[in-house]
Homo-oligomer: A and B are copies of this chain.
Amino acid sequence: MEEGAESRFLVRRLEVSDYEKGFISLLSQLTICPPISFDEFRSRFMEIEALGDNHVICVVEDTEQGRLVATGSIFVERKFLRGCGKVGHIEDVVVDSAARGMRLGQRVVGFLSNHARSVGCYKVILDCSPDNRGFYERCGFVQKELQMAVYFNPLPPSS
C-alpha cells in the first residue's frame, strides 16, 4: 500500500451529502442502479436513518478526490431462536474499479462485521457469487448454504 493510503481513505457511515460524492454511480458498478433524484435519495436515506443501528450503510471516501470509492450495508434482523438472537445481513458491497487492490473491500466488511458484533449479533451472513467466495474467505467467512431467489419484476436478475 502506498504511504498515506490509510489516512487518505476515510471509512464512515453514509451521509446525505454523499449524493454528490458518487454514491449511486458506485452502486451501478454492482448491479442495475439507475440515477435517482436528490429528493428520492434523501427520502430513502431518511427511511434507513430512522432504523438507527439496525440498518447501517458504510462508505469509504477518497478524501483527496472527495468521492466515494467503496460501500457496503448491513441490517440487523431480530429472531426468536437462539434466545431471541440477532443476525447481521451484509448487502451491496462494492469497490470502485479504479480503487481495487488496496483492501478497501476488507475494510468495509470489517466495519460492517464489527457493527454486527457490537450490537450483539450471533452471526453475520451475506450472499456472493462463486467468484467472490475467496475474497470473503479472506475476510473470515465460510460457505454455509445456497441462496435461492424469485424475481417479480421484468428487470434481468443480475442482483
Contacts and interface: CB of A to CB of B under 8 A. Distances in A.
A60 to B, nearest CB: 16
Interface in A84-141: 84, 87, 89, 91-92, 113, 116-117, 121-130, 133, 136-137, 139-141
- If over half of A's interface residues share one DSSP class (helix, strand or loop), that class is named, otherwise mixed; here it is mixed
B145 A129 contact: yes
Interface residues on A, range: 35 or more
Q: How many copies does the complex hold?
A: 2
Nearest to A109: B150
Contact of A81 (B27, B40, B84, B141): B27
6 contacts: A33-B82, A34-B82, A87-B91, A89-B89, A126-B148, A144-B148
Given A27-B80, A34-B82, 7 more contacts: A122-B155, A123-B157, A125-B148, A126-B147, A129-B145, A141-B148, A146-B146
Interface of A: 23-24, 27-28, 30-34, 36, 40-41, 43-44, 47-48, 55, 73, 75, 77-84, 87, 89, 91-92, 113, 116-117, 121-130, 133, 136-137, 139-153, 155, 157, 159
